Amino acid sequence: MNWKRYLIITASALLILLMGIGAFIYENSNSAAVADSSETKANNSSATESEQQNEAESSSSLSVSNNIENNVSGQAKAEIESSIQNEVENKDANIKNNITNSISDEAEVKLTNKLESLLNGSLTGTLNNAINNEVNSTGPTTIENNLINNIQLQVNVEVTNGITTSGKETNAENDSKENNDNENAGSEEESANNNASSSKDKPAYIWGIDSASASTDEFYACVNENFGNPKVVARYLGHNEGVSAGLTNEQIDLIHEKDADVLLIHNGFTDATGYDNGVNEAKEAIDLANELGTPDGVAIFADIEPTYPVDAAFIEGWYDEITASNFEPAIYGVFDNGSDLVDSFNEAAQNKQEVKDDTFIWSASPSIGITTEQEAPDFDVDAPEGSLAYGWQYGINAETCNIDTNLFDSKLTEVLWSA
């Protein structure tokens, strides 16, 4: 009897204990689930705050000032590429971009400058671009300027672009490109206003020579020692006995090795009159140029000396035949005011405006005397008004080295035979 009562009490106690353990486990399980849910809610709240912060930043204005400065001097040789790129969308912006290059002494430098701005969306502000090249080096300097503005959609930005290349002794090939791209979408009220003004490059002039003598290592040594380092060497097509040595492929290779361009001259005549005569001389010049493998687009200069008879018909015949070929028409002569050459050229231009618009001029007027490269004068050539007067032979008949000295507008290098 006592044994049965003891068994019942023990079983009851065990059941109560099991029920307590089950309740404990159930309570802890619910608490963990609540904690996990609370943590997830906190993370969602944090993400929302971050998005609000980024949205506030995107609506604020932007002020940017980019400056790059390169100074090269002594006998340094350098290739420098300076690039600034701005990309702004849906944000008011005031942007200043500036690249400054200073080249002096005997430094040899190749410069590539690039400014690019992409403005898109709804924004207002200003964009000021400036590239300044100051070249006072006697060494070869090549400059390429690229200025690109892409302005799209509802952009209202005042744009100022400026590119300057200056220097007393400027040996520069200045290839400057400027592009403003405007893409306006939506109604007239949503269209963008782009007020852009761009400055024109100041002309850059390079020093060069012409000679009736063959271009050899000895010839170059004489020129370098006594005058300077020419960046253009003018030479004659075909051998003209007693007058000039003809240009050869070996001489062309040497000139290019010396980092200079070749200017081609045709002097196989002494009479510059008559249309058919002009055509025939042009054909001979074209054949001689092709024998040398001259690239397309190179100019050929007809050498019309001041003692030659000349008329408008010859100039028109020369122009027509050269233009019909793969080459560009050009004339060398003494283009002083009132000369027969100037009168004939102006008459040809009256008959056909393209003669003036498309013929490159290399004038030997005024003649102020031979100088070294460093003592070259400021470019001041005599030529018909509005013509492509890109060459000036300012000094003739040097006693040393048998050369004439010249200044050329760097734009002429586009139609010279480059390496």
Q: Could you read off the pLDDT of 79-97 as tens digits, one per residue?
A: 888 888 888 777 787 888 8
Find the mean pLDDT for residues 116-136. 79
What angle in degrees, to the nearest 10, is found between the helix axes of 340-351 and 312-323? Answer: 60
pLDDT score of 305: 97
pLDDT score of 110: 83
In order of 95, 139, 366, the CA distances from 133 in angstroms are 21, 15, 29
| Confidence tier at 68 by pLDDT (50, 70, 90) | confident
Q: What is the H or E stretch that residue 52 is in?
A: helix 2-58
Of 138, 139, 130, the C-alpha closest to 165 is 130
Q: What is the H or E stretch that residue 323 is in?
A: helix 312-323
Q: What is the pLDDT of residues 175-219, one digit of tens each?
A: 444 444 444 433 333 333 333 333 345 579 999 999 999 999 999
d(CA 151, CA 119): 5
Q: 211 versus 174: which is more confidently predicted? A: 211
Q: What angle do CA 416, 283, 266 make, to 5 degrees?
A: 45
**236 pairs with which residues across the strands?**
246, 265
State yes or no: pLDDT of 28 exceeds 50. Answer: no
State yes or no: pLDDT of 125 exceeds 50. Answer: yes
d(CA 180, CA 186): 20
Tokens describing residue 187: 């109604």
pLDDT score of 65: 80
Find the mean pLDDT for residues 265-270. 96
Please tell me what DSSP assigns to residue 189.
Answer: G
How crowded is residue 22: how many other Cβ atoms within 10 Å of its Cβ? Answer: 10
Q: Assess contact for 259 and 140: CB atoms under 8 A.
A: yes
| Confidence tier at 412 by pLDDT (50, 70, 90) | very high
- The strand pair at 388-395 and 404-409 is best described as antiparallel
Find the mean pLDDT for residues 287-294. 98
pLDDT score of 35: 35
Q: 331 versus 44: which is more confidently predicted? A: 331
What single string gives the DSSP state of each residue in 163-185?
EEEE-TT--EEEEEEEEEEEE--
pLDDT score of 5: 58
Find the mean pLDDT for residues 294-303. 98
Find the mean pLDDT for residues 264-290. 98
Find the mean pLDDT for residues 240-260. 95
pLDDT score of 252: 98
pLDDT score of 153: 57
Residues in CB range of 113: below 8 A, 6 or more apart: 82, 83, 99, 101, 131, 133, 143, 144, 145, 146
Residue 379, SS3 per DSSP: coil
State yes or no: pLDDT of 57 exceeds 60. Answer: no
Topology (CATH) of 206-415: TIM Barrel (3.20.20)
pLDDT score of 60: 59
pLDDT score of 88: 78
State yes or no: pLDDT of 234 exceeds 50. Answer: yes
pLDDT score of 3: 52
d(CA 394, CA 378): 10
Residue 125, burial from CB neighbour count under 10 angstroms (0-12, 13-18, 19+): buried
State yes or no: pLDDT of 418 exceeds 90. Answer: yes
pLDDT score of 50: 37
| Confidence tier at 154 by pLDDT (50, 70, 90) | low
| Confidence tier at 146 by pLDDT (50, 70, 90) | confident
In order of 61, 123, 156, 198, 399, the CA distances from 190 in angstroms are 20, 11, 10, 25, 71
Residues in CB range of 98: below 8 A, 6 or more apart: 65, 66, 67, 68, 130, 131, 132
Residue 45, SS3 per DSSP: helix
Find the mean pLDDT for residues 328-352. 97
- Average per-residue pLDDT in the chain? 80
pLDDT score of 113: 87
In order of 10, 89, 152, 194, 397, the CA distances from 191 in angstroms are 92, 16, 9, 10, 63
**CA gyration radius for the chain?**
38
What single string gives the DSSP state of each residue in 79-115?
EEEEEEEEEEESS-EEEEEEEEEEEEET-EEEEEEEE
Find the mean pLDDT for residues 362-376. 97
What angle in degrees, to the nearest 10, is found between the helix axes of 312-323 and 275-291? Answer: 40
Tokens describing residue 400: 């040393």
pLDDT score of 293: 97
Residues in CB range of 288: below 8 A, 6 or more apart: 237, 238, 266
Find the mean pLDDT for residues 389-409. 97
Q: 160 versus 267: which is more confidently predicted? A: 267
Q: Assess contact for 192 and 150: CB atoms under 8 A.
A: no
Q: Assess contact for 178 and 209: CB atoms under 8 A.
A: no
Q: What is the pLDDT of residues 303-335, one digit of tens each?
A: 999 999 999 999 999 999 999 999 999 999 999
Q: Which pTM value belongs to this model?
A: 0.56
How crowded is residue 284: how many other Cβ atoms within 10 Å of its Cβ? Answer: 16
pLDDT score of 287: 98
Find the mean pLDDT for residues 386-415. 97
